[in-house]
Amino acid sequence: MRRLSMTSLIDVIFLLLLFFMLSSTFSKFSEVELSAAADGAVEARDIPPLFLQLRADDVRLNGDAMPLEGLSAALKGRPKGAAPQSLLIAMRDGITSQRLTDLLVVLRSVPGIAPTVLDGG
């Protein structure tokens, strides 16, 4: 009976391990905080809410079209210590979750904005 050599098997396992280690990415993904509100639980305020329509190529803030990159500049300028401004977000058909995440990352950099994503269904 012939003995089986384990040397070539160990070499193959080492090469596979090396391949998977080099082809993997070790990056930290950013987190987007989401908070949920009860159905219909909207605080009554004197400040009317802003309305944002998320589209595939741009966004519309209260009917004015702008690129996603210009949204933070349009929303800034609120006085310090003011009550959070409610922002209602409506999504058009065909919006991906990545597009929504990009919007939420932009909104996270704007202080005093309380986004609410409306249910499209």
Q: What is the pLDDT of residues 50-82, one digit of tens each?
A: 899 988 888 898 888 888 888 888 888 666 666
Q: Which two tokens stand for residue 105?
A: 């990352």
- Of the pLDDT bands very low, low, confident and very high (cuts 50, 70, 90), residue 45 is low
Residue at token pair 């391949």: 19
Residue recorded with tokens 């519309």: 60
- The pLDDT of residue 32 is 67
- The continuous run of DSSP H or E covering 39 comes out as none
When pLDDT is averaged across residues 88-93 and rounded to a whole number, the result is: 85
Three-class DSSP category at 68: helix
Judge contact between 107 and 115, C-beta under 8 A.
yes
The band of 18, judged by pLDDT with boundaries at 50, 70 and 90, is very high
